[in-house]
Structure 1
Amino acid sequence: MRRNTILLATMAIATIGTTTQSCLAIATSSVGLTVIKQILLGGINKGLNIFSNKDSFLANQLIDAALPQQLKDINSTLQKVGLNSLVQKEKDYIARAAAFTVDTSRPILNNAVNSLTAEDATRIIQGGSGAATKILRERTSEQLMAAIAPKVDAKLNEFGLVQTLNSALAGTNILGSIFGGQNSNNLATNAVSRFAAQQMVNGLFNIIENHEQQNSTTILNSLGGMK
């Protein structure tokens, strides 16, 4: 009886090992890698479609959650002094600027996805939920920031946001408290463009990751039900 139990346990372990190896083999095959790429590209398209529409951008909670703390502090201060309309205008301008980053962001992200390898697929499968987006973020976030920040800055200046914030914050020490004791209006208004670009990059990855998680069942099914 004991010998039978040990034999069954050994067979079970061997089966699990074989199943895991089979799942990884499928994952790193052209089929498994294609599924992962399609899901990531779907998330990218979803995010950039949202960026293309100002109202969709403003209404998206994943983008709102990506707002940098410094910009939250500026907005909170403006609201406290009765300038809520300026905060709304700032958000509107940032949403409008986001549309001008779509054509720049798309090839960077698509190229990174299409460059994924079998080794990446193994890391994604072993990494669990959100691992594919994590790899994509690691490989593109700095490039995205460098590419879109100048476009965001140009658009926000074109819309007059920088000048408006300068006027609203002139003669205050608000910026010093937010930026570590440096009392410079120009420092903050120039940084607003950088903060806006950070929100766009992080918000986009939030959308891609959410899309990946929503489609995790598709990944598992393509790998034969691997958990």
Structure 2
Amino acid sequence: MLRRQFVISTLALTLAAPALAQGFGRLSQGDARSGIRAALDTASRLATERLGRPDGFFADPAVHIPLPRNIATLQTQLRRVGMSGPVDDLELRINRSAEAAMPEAGRIFTDAVQSITLSDAVSIVRGSDTAATDYLRGRSESRLTGLLRPGMESALTGSGAYQAVDAVEPQISRGQNMLGGLFGNRSATGSLRDIVTDHAVSRAIDGVFHYIGLEERAIRQDPVRRGTDLLRRVFG
């Protein structure tokens, strides 16, 4: 028992060194976990609010969702002859769908950060500037994908993106024009709706984690972003 208490105390002192140096007092493992949770709550909230606004994805080069590769190839070819309008509209609708899915993503992240354990928090506090973001992505991406997909399907339906997909699906299936040549036999990869949905979900999650990482880095490095005494103690 004494050995265990000594190890815990030594670890807590190691974590607390930066805070002690700035006069914030001793940092406990519980403080570390609470601080990481608070930081990720803040980072994920700011990220999803930013991306959930109109043009949050579409007008931001860092996270803009392009069309899946084969459709993008078609888009480029049609643009050369001034006929890319319908495909461009599909790209816009996909990005609008990602923006509409952000409130659901925010709720998922809020639930996910509550699973961080004491030992996880210790490693994260001592880790890189995006250690919390990397942890969250590594532990939750598969689950997030599964949970976010229905919301994205709903958003794609509401935005009209699926209607745009359905408009070209028969042409692709019949292979009567350039679309058929580009896509060929798609039976092994699923329906075009599935391809678009999987692509949209994957890129939307990439975008969210991109900004969660930026927010975490800012919280760690910028005292102004550490708006609470707890965050100042953890990252000070």
Identify the TM-score tier after normalising by the shorter chain: 0.7 to 0.9
Tell me the secondary structure at the aligned position of residue 53 of structure 1: coil
Q: Structure 1 residues 71 and 103, CA, compared in 2 at 3 Å: closer, same or farther?
A: same
Give the CA deviation at 1:185.
9.6
Q: Structure 1 residues 169 and 113, CA, compared in 2 at 3 Å: closer, same or farther?
A: same
Among 173, 189, 203, which residue is 2:181 paired with? Answer: 173
Aligned to 2:7: none
Give the CA deviation at 1:79.
1.6
- What is the aligned length? 202
Tell me the secondary structure at the aligned position of residue 59 of structure 1: coil
In 2, distance between residues paired with 1:156 and 1:59? 18
Aligned to 2:5: none
Q: Structure 1 residues 21 and 46, CA, compared in 2 at 3 Å: closer, same or farther?
A: closer
Among 68, 75, 80, which residue is 1:78 paired with? Answer: 75
Give the CA deviation at 1:167.
5.6
Post-superposition CA distance 1:160-211 (Å, at most 9, x none): 12213426646222123xxxx6478963343111100111111111110111
Among 202, 206, 220, which residue is 2:206 paired with? Answer: 202
Question: Which residue identity is paired with 2:107?
Answer: P
Question: Which residue identity is paired with 2:196?
Answer: V
Under a length normalisation based on structure 2, what TM-score does the superposition of the two structures give? 0.70
Aligned to 2:144: 144
Tell me the secondary structure at the aligned position of residue 55 of structure 1: coil
CA contact (8 A) 2:63 2:207 kept: yes
Q: Structure 1 residues 223 and 107, CA, compared in 2 at 3 Å: closer, same or farther?
A: closer
| CA RMSD, 1 decimal | 3.2
CA contact (8 A) 1:43 1:211 kept: yes
CA contact (8 A) 2:98 2:152 kept: yes
CA contact (8 A) 2:47 2:211 kept: yes
Aligned to 1:102: 102
Under a length normalisation based on structure 1, what TM-score does the superposition of the two structures give? 0.73
Aligned to 1:132: 132
Aligned to 2:3: none
- Kindly indicate which of the two structures has a greater share of residues assigned to helix: 1
45-54 vs 94-103, which deviates more? Answer: 94-103
In 1, distance between residues paired with 2:44 and 2:218? 14
Q: Which runs of 5+ in 1 are unaligned?
A: 1-16
Question: Which residue identity is paired with 2:50?
Answer: I
Give the CA deviation at 1:144.
1.6
Aligned to 2:220: 216
Post-superposition CA distance 1:16-44 (Å, at most 9, x none): x9973533995553333333222211221
Identity of aligned residues (%): 21
CA contact (8 A) 1:175 1:184 kept: no
